[in-house]
Structure 1
Amino acid sequence: MILIADSGSSKTDWRVIHRDGTISQHRGVGFNPYYQTSEEMALQMRDDFLLQLENEIEQIFYYGAGCSAPERKAEVSQALGTIFSKASIEIDHDLSAAAHATCGHEAGIACILGTGSNSCDYDGEKIIDSRPAPGYILGDEGGGGYVGRKFLRDFINDEMPKEIRSEVLERFHLTREVIQDHVYRQPFPNRYMASFCRFITEHSSNPYCYKLFYDSFQEFFSKHVCKYQDFEKKPVNFVGSIAHYNSTILRKAATDRGLHVQLVIESPIAGLTLYHQEKL
């Protein structure tokens, strides 16, 4: 049996390819070795869905955020090994998942816009270039944490429209102290900031909320897509919840920049399942 994972900072999609070819699925919490130790990840991986499979899984293909450096890959492998001690484990970057799922065997630019953001230039077989992804404090332009941070900053500084602020107060009961506690004292501040994107998306007909996404996408294009060689000639593909649920704004921002957006999907897991199923 084969276990496949596509993991971001907020959630992980798991797929199991059973011996008879059937597929089962599960969605759990996200992991990121830049923000979690192998022990912390191992503890959270003790999910009933995974524990039921611990003696049956023979191969694991894990694609995850923060898994570009060998030492980070080792930490995730160690965490998985605490449950699946008999399985062979392969760890790869979430950019590889995005490229395989959206570009297939064709050249293109693959981008991730979820809680965080990232991108790569793909030649149809391998990643040939990628931009720095320094995380939610120094980067993540266009990602949910980045958009949410701007939103919360505007709330604190009373720089959002009164009707939006009124709804925020009614729905979330926010105060400056609550925000600062979550951002500076609680774990996973990037997830907390990104959680407000659902509200922003629901109100994207409001010019303020629309502009939050539009401007953040333009910043992503400037920092990432437009840095690749011949970027204007290549299809640009996206995976991630922020891209998926705000695809109309994303495509408009791209068109205004002279970019051709080809595919926008929420998760690459279906494409990854097909990719590994073909190898059986």
Structure 2
Amino acid sequence: MSTYLIADSGSTKTDWVITQDGLKVGAFQSAGINPFYQTSEEIIPVLNEQVIPNLTSQVDKVFFYGAGCADEKSSRPVFDALSHCILSAAQIEVASDMLGAARGLCGREPGLACILGTGANNAFYDGEKIVHSIGSLGFWLGDEGSGSYLGKTLVVNFLQNELPSELHEKFAAAYPEINRLYVLENAYKKPYPNRFFAAFSKFIAENIADSYMQQLVSDAFSLFTEKYILKHPNAAQYPVHFTGSVAFYYQSILKDVLASRNLQCGRILKTPLEGLVQYYA
């Protein structure tokens, strides 16, 4: 019996699945693991405290797909931490969350795979490998359409008194600590500013019936579409798939944006793990 441990990791959380002979037998979550922000020494405690206790049998292979794991050098802290903590694994593969999304969404068929979670990314996948990508510039310079982008836009609009009065009052009541200095400190002096801003997307979800919020999300998805999807050659000829909580929870708005650009909407999954289980089966 072969036991695989498959992970899909973002900056906020990591979703893990355990399979035995191709069948899912367990699932759990841990904190996000991102080697762009964390060293192997910082990742090891996350694995020991939040992952290892969930493993009830020997793991034969580990397939880890994560944000910040663009190549062998950048993903080394994750590989070293997994090798240190999961000694039974004869094979450990660490690759980008984009490749994981492509395999989970497209399987072995060509298509455009997109991530809209805490961050944002995109790639054209030929059924085997990623062949073209409009590179993400990360939280400060990109991530349009993501949870962190939506949260940042909301907070900026609040601080600059651009929210409708009713929404402004609701936001102030929900987050009484928010003021200019507090936001600047979390944005520029504290770690994980992307997580800080992404947390405010919850307020958008709670008030999505408001037309202002719907337009805010629609504008963000339109920007993502223009900056990334439409720059892929022949984008309209292939299904456009999405994974991530933002795409999943706002999929009705996302589908409208895609339709307005004559794009084919493919699968929209909260995480690519369901597809990855099928891929490895």
Of 41-50 and 142-151, the range deviating more from structure 2: 41-50
Match of 2:180 in 1: 176
Equivalenced residue count is 277
Listed as ranges, the matches of 1:192-231 within 5 Å are: 192-231=196-235
How far apart are 1:177 and its partner, in Å? 2.5
Q: Which letter maps to 1:50? A: I
User: Quick one: distance in 2 between partners of 1:22 and 1:151?
Assistant: 38
Of 207-216 and 80-89, the range deviating more from structure 2: 80-89
Match of 1:60 in 2: 62
Identity of aligned residues (%): 36
TM-score under structure 2 length normalisation: 0.93
How far apart are 1:185 and its partner, in Å? 2.2
User: Quick one: distance in 2 between partners of 1:210 and 1:266?
Assistant: 20
User: Quick one: distance in 2 between partners of 1:95 and 1:80?
Assistant: 20
Question: Are residues 1:185 and 2:189 paired?
Answer: yes
How far apart are 1:106 and its partner, in Å? 1.6
Cα 1:139–1:61 change in 2 (3 A) is: same
Match of 1:99 in 2: 102
Which of 80, 83, 87 is 1:81 aligned to? Answer: 83
How far apart are 1:40 and its partner, in Å? 1.5
- SS of residue paired to 1:137: helix
How far apart are 1:52 and its partner, in Å? 5.4
Structure 1: gaps spanning 5 or more residues: none
Cα 1:73–1:98 change in 2 (3 A) is: same
TM-score under structure 1 length normalisation: 0.93
* Cα deviations by residue, 1:161-184 (Å, 9 ceiling, x for unpaired): 111111111112122222222222
Which of 163, 173, 178 is 2:166 aligned to? Answer: 163
User: Quick one: distance in 2 between partners of 1:119 and 1:24?
Assistant: 29
- SS of residue paired to 1:146: helix
Of 179-188 and 255-264, the range deviating more from structure 2: 179-188
- SS of residue paired to 1:13: strand
How far apart are 1:48 and its partner, in Å? 4.4
User: Quick one: distance in 1 between partners of 2:82 and 2:56?
Assistant: 10
Of 185-194 and 18-27, the range deviating more from structure 2: 18-27
| 1:111 and 1:117 in contact (8 A); partners too | yes
Question: Are residues 1:253 and 2:257 paired?
Answer: yes
C-alpha RMSD of the superposition? 1.7
Match of 1:113 in 2: 116
Q: Which letter maps to 1:99? A: A
Match of 2:274 in 1: 270
Match of 2:128 in 1: 125
| 1:59 and 1:89 in contact (8 A); partners too | yes
Structure 2: gaps spanning 5 or more residues: none
User: Quick one: distance in 1 between partners of 2:104 and 2:38?
Assistant: 26
User: Quick one: distance in 2 between partners of 1:209 and 1:22?
Assistant: 37
